[in-house]
Amino acid sequence: MTAREIHGIVRPKSAAATILRILLFAVLGLFVLYYLMPLIVMVMTALKPLEEIRTGTLLSLPKDVTLEPALRAWDSACVGVRCEGLKPYVWNSIAMVVPAVVLSTLLGAINGYALTKWRFRGADIIFGLMLFGAFIPFQVVLLPMARTLGILGLAGTVPGLVLVHTVYGLAFTTLFFRNFFVGVSDGIVQAAKVDGAGFFGIFFRIVLPMAPPAIVVTVIWQFTQIWNDFLFGIAFTVGDSNPVTVALSNLVASSTGVKEYNVDMAAAIIAAIPTLIVYVFAGKYFIRGLAAGAVKG
Amino acid sequence: MKRADLWLPKVVVAPSFALSLFFVYGFIAWTVYISFTGSGVMPRYEFAGLIQYIRLWETPRWYVALQNLAVFGILFMAICMALGILLAIMLDQRIRAEGVLRTIYLYPMALSFIVTGTAWKWILNPTLGIEKLMHDIGWESFQFDWLVDREMAIYTIVIAGVWQSSGYVMALFLAGLRSIDDEIIKAAAIDGAGPWRTYVGIVLPMLRPVFLSAFITLMHLAIKSYDLVVALTAGGPGIATDVPATFMYSYAFQRSELGLAAASAVMMLVTIMAVVVPYLYSELRAGRK
């Protein structure tokens, strides 16, 4: 960096500017601490034996690093009356998130394509009506959903949750793909139509191969949303079929026996790992999803 | 064009549209209708007028919930906005390690609040968390028991909520700042405008659409927030941190007051719709051009 360049608004190299620059970094650093503290505390506490938690403080480093709390959280901690750790609930979450993400993404892709490249009368109105679903407070559908799941025989099951997440993810996935396909040139599609390619031919051979960026954003967004969901999980599942967020909440809230804070924290980390990994490795797609979620068309 | 291509697009969208009609609009209609009946443990379908709404507005707990939502919502939105804008502006100064900082500021948004609430509960715990930390480094008189204090517990939810969502506002504004032409900023600098004047007078007013979408999303988050409250205080102590979302859940699933719960859900829906529908309408119209 040279002194003559103008860097944003703060210009480096004059004495006052240097001080300002140091101050800027100090403030940014303080915010790093604020945002990281819960994660640091979580990891350090999870690595401590219970004894050290009683004697030490929040931020004291673990002296006797142990994985025992993590193993207990995974395998043998009691969630309600069941003492198998979070393991079965993590499987529930996986069994819920995979089909729900696949289904809602597929439907979103085909909707987005049909609504932008085969515009028919009323396409905008249909899209607008579907998009509204992304904004309703889910409290307004909890009661009828509970009854519908009951009638379908899906109450308290993982497939029930798959249905719920697929249905309420549709608005988002359709939005993502529509916004992506709007930006894809109509020319290619028109040319293919002239050449006699049909609706599905164009979709599978031309449009879908262009869409990996949209697919990645949608999958990541849906994955984090569904994995992190708590409201639907607690309202529509019971004990054995709880997703991991609900199990974690039950584990932490249980008040029987000695409170094992280290196991609680280890359990929280287990529940956080999948989305954390996705965020670290595909953060920019996650951010794109967030931006699209704010309906910036 | 093949004949099939005339109806295929409609057929393909139809299932999703039907699902939306049933699961969104149908369900909303059902909930609205139930809110006008005397339903208790089981739904009853005789129309009963406004009794549930009258009962709702006569329930002291509903006022506690509304008051909490007001306190939480206003502080949450205001602090998230202020912090997000501040961070975005600071990161916009060609900072080394910007990518790392951005990642750190935004990661809470990727986690479930049930997860991070567990950590916050532990940090804010009066006997184990910050209070103990301060005592151990010698500040004996330090007290921080907001989490279990009826008057203050709602503010702990603000602390954790801001932590969760301020990075999101930062990301939106940073993207907005990056979309502004550098020439404008340079021109302002040449005209002798200081950093403060440049941002407040020129840059931020240009980001009006970003303010709007950040505001809509934050408001929406605040009204819906359920897991945030459950993870941190479970609505307690007592009902001190009840919000409409926890109120609705508790009347629907624990007290089996379907009608009253439906009425409270409708109140939430109406509030969000009042803001979101005009916004969506204008967005979609603008997008069509």
pLDDT, tens digit, for every residue of B197-210?
888 888 888 888 88
- Give pLDDT, residue A160: 94
Beta bridge partners of A82: A79
Query: Please, which pLDDT band fits residue B289 given cuts at 50, 70 and 90?
Result: very low
State which residue of chain B sits closest to A9, comparing Cα positions. B195
- At B137, is the secondary structure helix, strand, or coil? coil
Confidence tier at A95 by pLDDT (50, 70, 90): very high
| Closest CA in chain B for residue A193 | B1
Contacts of A139 in chain B (CB under 8 A): 224, 226, 244-245, 248-249, 264-265, 268-269
Residues 6+ apart with CB under 8 A from A61: A44
Chain A residues with beta carbon closer than 8 angstroms to that of B214: 294
Band (pLDDT 50/70/90 cuts) for residue B25 is: very high
Range with lowest mean pLDDT among A20-29, B3-12, B107-116, B151-160: B3-12
Task: List B residues 116-145 in contact with A (Cβ-Cβ < 8 A).
Answer: 116, 118-123, 128-130, 132-133, 136
| pLDDT, mean of residues B177-182 | 84
Given a cut of 90, whether residue B54 has pLDDT beyond it is: yes
State the count of interchain CB pairs (< 8 A) between A and B. Answer: 289
- Mean pLDDT for B49-57 is 92
pLDDT at residue A11, rounded to an integer: 53
Residue B197 touches partner A, C-beta closer than 8 Å: no
Q: Which residues of A touch B128 (CB under 8 A)?
A: 53, 58, 261
Instruction: Calculate the average pLDDT of chain A.
Output: 86
Statement: residue A17 has pLDDT above 70: yes
Helix A139-152 to helix B27-34 angle (10° resolution) is 110
Chain A residues 230-249 with a CB less than 8 Å from chain B: 230-231, 234-235, 245-246, 248-249
Indicate whether A88 pLDDT > 50: yes
Tokens coding B116: 């991070």
Q: Which of residues 67-106 of A touch B (CB under 8 A)?
A: none
Flag if B12 and A111 touch (Cβ within 8 Å): yes
Higher pLDDT, B54 or A261: B54
A82 φ, ψ (degrees, to nearest 5): -95, 125
CA torsion angle for B23, B28, B30, B35 (degrees, to 10)? Answer: 150
Q: What is the pLDDT, as a whole number, of residue B31?
A: 95
Residue B112 in contact with partner chain A when CB distance is under 8 A: yes
Per-residue pLDDT, A8: 55
Identity of the residue in A41, A167, A199 whose CB atom sits nearest the CB atom of B5: A199
Locus of tokens 């990727």: B110
Q: Cβ of A287 under 8 Å from any chain B Cβ?
A: yes
Residues of B in contact with A45 (CB under 8 A): 122
| DSSP codes joined into one string, A237-286 | --GGG--HHHHHHHHHH--SSS--HHHHHHHHHHHHHHHHHHHHHHHHHH
Give the mean pLDDT of chain B. Answer: 87
B4, B163, B249 ranked by CB distance to A34: nearest: B163
> Residue with structure tokens 């932590």?
B163
Residues from chain B that touch A58, judged by Cβ atoms under 8 A, are 122-123, 128-130, 132-133
Q: Please state whether the predicted TM-score (pTM) of the whole model is above 0.80.
A: yes
Give the pLDDT mean for B76-86. Answer: 95
Tell me whether A44 touches chain B (CB under 8 Å).
no
Instruction: Indicate yes or no: CB of A231 within 8 angstroms of CB of B226.
Output: yes
**Is B43 within 8 Å of A147 when comparing Cβ atoms?**
yes
**What residues have CB less than 8 Å from B241, skipping those under 6 apart?**
B68, B153, B154, B157, B229, B232, B233, B235
Concatenate the DSSP letters of all residues of B94-110 into one string: T-TTHHHHHHHHHGGGG
The stretch B136-148 carries a mean pLDDT of 76
Cβ contact B189–A9 (<8 Å)? yes
- What share of chain A has pLDDT > 70, as a percent? 93
pLDDT given for residue A297 in this prediction: 34
Closest CB from A41, A227, A234 relative to B123: A41
> B252: nearest CA in chain A?
A143
Are A294 and B19 inside 8 Å of each other by CB?
no
Query: Per the CB < 8 Å rule, is B123 touching A137?
Result: no
pLDDT(B97) > 70: yes
Confidence check: pLDDT of B68 > 80:
yes
Return the percentage of chain B with pLDDT > 70, whole number.
98
Task: Determine the angle formed by the axes of helices A158-182 and A261-293, rounding to 10 degrees.
Answer: 30
**Per mean pLDDT, which of B84-88, B119-123, B127-131 is the most reliable?**
B84-88
Which of B4, B189, B253 lies at the smallest CB-CB distance from A235?
A: B253
Quote the ipTM score. Answer: 0.89
Among A105-109, A197-201, B109-113, B193-197, the least confident range: B193-197
Chain B neighbours among A 166-205 (CB < 8 Å)? 167-168, 170-171, 174, 193, 196, 198-200
Measured distance CA(A231)–CA(B172) in Å, rounded: 26
Distance from the B129 Cα atom to the nearest Cα atom in chain A, whole angstroms: 6
Rounded to an integer, what distance in angstroms lies between the CA atom of residue A134 and that of residue A21? 42
Chain B residues whose beta carbon lies within 8 Å of the beta carbon of residue A136: 24, 28, 269, 272
For residue range A268-296, what is the model confidence (pLDDT) as tens digits?
Answer: 999 999 999 999 888 888 888 887 766 54
Nearest to A6 among B112, B186, B213 (CB): B186
